[in-house]
Amino acid sequence: MKERITYLFMQYYTNRCTRKELEEFFQLIHAAKHDNEINELVKNTYDEIKKNNPSLTYIDEEGKLVLREPDWLQEVAANQYAQPIKKRVLPVWTAAACLMLVAFGAIGLWRLKKGTPEVAIVQKFTERAEHKFLLLNDSTQVWLNASSTINYPEHFDEKKREVYLNGEAYFDVKHADKVPFIIHTGDVTTVVLGTAFNVKAYEGQQHITVTVKRGKVQVMKSDRVVSTLIKGQEVKIDKKEIHQTDKVADNNHAGAWQYGYLSYEDESFADIISDMERVYNTEIIVMNAQLKQTLVTTSFNRDIGARKALEILCRLTDAKLEIKNNQYFIK
């Protein structure tokens, strides 16, 4: 039991939980309210994380992440000079929520000072081969692509609307004068007032790509304006380098995946393969290292399936496709 809990904590901490593991994780949390051994394990884990992440969070009864100083800590502070002091065991859901905050450190920008209203943070995610539609409280529409995670407050404040994205999403932002809509993807920030655009920011891929379908978008990296885009334009930002590449993109390219089309223009073979693994929930092994860097321009309907899509890619790059034990190998 102890090993399993530790494993789930680490999966949760590193944002690698599968849907089943996440469900099991929360079931254990709620079942552990009267289990001293599990509570002690959680407390030890919490103490280690708290050394580098002093802010505290918890999950309310509806499963929402709430950022404020938890009641149990306030009670301890209030009773510091009272006798006797009753030892209080750390609730498991408090420590678990701390792990969530660490896993998505960007959420820390929403930290609140003591005495301010509570802010509930909503987290939505998709598995491989899964899409999800979200309607935010300001009427902004979001389409979340496969293997993606988005975090946002249940209610935006009056000055700005901020969300945190890991993966890919298409946004149709409700216009609001003087209330910018801000998407954080690591060091890259996209700012709009009201428009439609696509943001692609998967871990493991070299670039973050912003493509505008309607309106105007400002893209920044490390607080420096990289580009201001209008309808039909796209910017690719290298995650590691300062330089970036601006180019005009086909207007239909923005968010084409919503309609079942996989469209690429001068994309690396490796990044296209990563997309296909997410879209088709399969494993594709590229055995030629040089091939991974080859730039490819192509498009096809998702419904043709993984095999036919890979055959198209192989024809374009003079590569060879082999299938063994339901795995795809490209040479």
pTM flag (> 0.95): no
- Stretch 77-93: mean pLDDT, rounded? 40
Residues 6+ apart with CB under 8 A from 90: 39, 42, 43, 46, 72
251 and 297 both lie in a single domain: no
Q: Which of 4-13, 67-76, 311-320 has the highest mean predicted lDDT (pLDDT)? A: 311-320
Would you state the pLDDT for residue 323? 92
> What pLDDT, in 10s, does the model give residues 204-252?
888 899 999 989 999 998 888 888 888 888 888 888 775 555 555 655 5
Domain CATH for 168: 2.60.120.1440
210 and 265 both lie in a single domain: no
114 and 140 both lie in a single domain: no
131 and 100 both lie in a single domain: no
Distance of CA 58 to the CA centre of its chain: 20
Supply 217's token pair: 């978008």
pLDDT of 187 strictly over 50 = yes
268 and 238 both lie in a single domain: no
Supply 232's token pair: 């039909």
Q: Which residue has the higher pLDDT, 75 or 130?
A: 130
Q: Which of 258, 288, 308 is where one domain is finished?
A: 258
- Stretch 291-303: mean pLDDT, rounded? 90
24 and 108 both lie in a single domain: yes
- Region of poorest pLDDT, from 43-57, 170-184, 232-246, 270-284: 43-57
Supply 48's token pair: 């280690």
Q: List the one residue out of 85, 279, 21, 220 whose CA is nearest residue 271.
A: 279
pLDDT of 68 strictly over 80 = no
131 and 252 both lie in a single domain: yes
Q: What total number of domains does the chain contain?
A: 3
Q: How confident is residue 190, by pLDDT bands cut at 50, 70 and 90?
A: very high
54 and 157 both lie in a single domain: no
Q: Which of 118, 144, 162 is where one domain is finished?
A: 118
284 and 329 both lie in a single domain: yes
Q: Which of 225, 241, 258 is where one domain is finished?
A: 258
Domain of residue 76, residue span: 1-118
pLDDT of 183 strictly over 80 = yes
pLDDT of 91 strictly over 50 = no
83 and 130 both lie in a single domain: no
Domain CATH for 272: 3.55.50.30
Residues 6+ apart with CB under 8 A from 73: 56
> What pLDDT, in 10s, does the model give residues 139-167?
999 999 999 999 999 999 889 999 999 99
179 and 287 both lie in a single domain: no
140 and 240 both lie in a single domain: yes
Would you state the pLDDT for residue 277? 93
